[in-house]
Amino acid sequence: MATKGRILCTEDDADTRDLIILTLRFAGYDVKCADNAEEAIDFLTTEKFGLCLLDNWLPGISGVDLCERIRQFDAKTPILFYSGAGYDADKERAFSAGAQGYLVKPVPADDLVGEVDRLINN
């Protein structure tokens, strides 16, 4: 069975990572995970993904910093933040760094899948 697309999920919390994988795989996506920014950059420079899903709170650097680094070599792949950082300023920084979407944890699985579908299909 063909997948709907490949997603790189960068999330340091193992339980959240497992839930994201389960949700998106059930929806038909191939999901690869990184638990830190450096691992995400390594994957992104050697593999192709249809979407990057980022947490804003990562060890070492923020998701916004990671987003800015991704945009230095990849201007096209959609970036969706899925984070507990829910202030308007957090969202504004993410969009200014190059993100196309921002969801504040927790959201219903259907909302996560719907936003991923929207961004991948644009």
Q: How confident is the model at residue 122 (pLDDT cuts 50, 70, 90)?
A: confident
Instruction: Flag whether pLDDT at 1 surpasses 80.
Output: no
By C-alpha distance, which of 8, 31, 15, 26 is closest to 79? 8
By C-alpha distance, which of 59, 39, 56 is closest to 67? 56
By C-alpha distance, which of 27, 10, 26, 2 is closest to 77? 10
Instruction: Flag whether pLDDT at 98 surpasses 80.
Output: yes
| Residues 28-36, mean pLDDT to the nearest whole number | 96
pLDDT of residue 2: 72
| Interaxial angle between packed helices 37-46 and 63-73, expressed in degrees from 0 to 180 and rounded to the nearest 10 | 20
d(CA 121, CA 10): 21
Instruction: Flag whether pLDDT at 104 surpasses 70.
Output: yes
Is pTM beyond 0.75? Reply is yes
The residue that leads in pLDDT, 101 or 2, is: 101
Long-range Cβ pairs for the range 13-17 (8 Å, 24+): 13/55, 16/55, 16/105
Domains present along the chain, CATH in parentheses = 6-121 (3.40.50.2300)
